[in-house]
Amino acid sequence: MKKLIVISILALSSLAAGLAVNAAEGYGKQKVVYHVNYDNEKQQIAAMRNIQNHINAVGKENLDLRVVMHGKGYTLLKRANDNPDIQSKVISLKKQGVKMQICGNTLRGKKISYKNDLYDVEKTDIVPSGVAEIAHLQGKGFSYVKP
């Protein structure tokens, strides 16, 4: 009986792995920009969950994924300073190749210091304009997602 259970578990694991590989192959390479410009914490966490699900379905090696934040969207990275759950999600997504970009206009307009006020932001993460960056990426073939 134990042998049958072990064989069944191995078969199911193999089937699940096969399905994941087939799904990733079926989707092919993707370029996607996620747009975050809202302050709702639950919505921001849901967006990060959507991004992780996207990576799981397509495979990080098949995905060029950007998150562009402007307006109130900057609060996602502000919250990460004090919220270990959001912080760990940001770290995990970045380790999987997700580029998180923040609008320079927003930083200037709201007098936000990317070094002091936002979690794990480098100068290279700042784009001149969030909406212009989204339009630019769409022009380069990126699909637009607003979770």
Q: Which residue has the tokens 């191995």?
A: 10
Between CA 112 and CA 109 the distance in angstroms is 8
Phi, psi (rounded to 5 degrees) for 69: -115, 135
pLDDT recorded at residue 4: 43
Confidence band of 19 (pLDDT split at 50, 70, 90): low
Is domain 29-145 in CATH 3.40.1260.10, yes or no? yes
pLDDT of 131 > 90? The answer is yes
pLDDT of 23 > 70? The answer is no
pTM attached to this predicted model: 0.83
Between CA 32 and CA 62 the distance in angstroms is 11
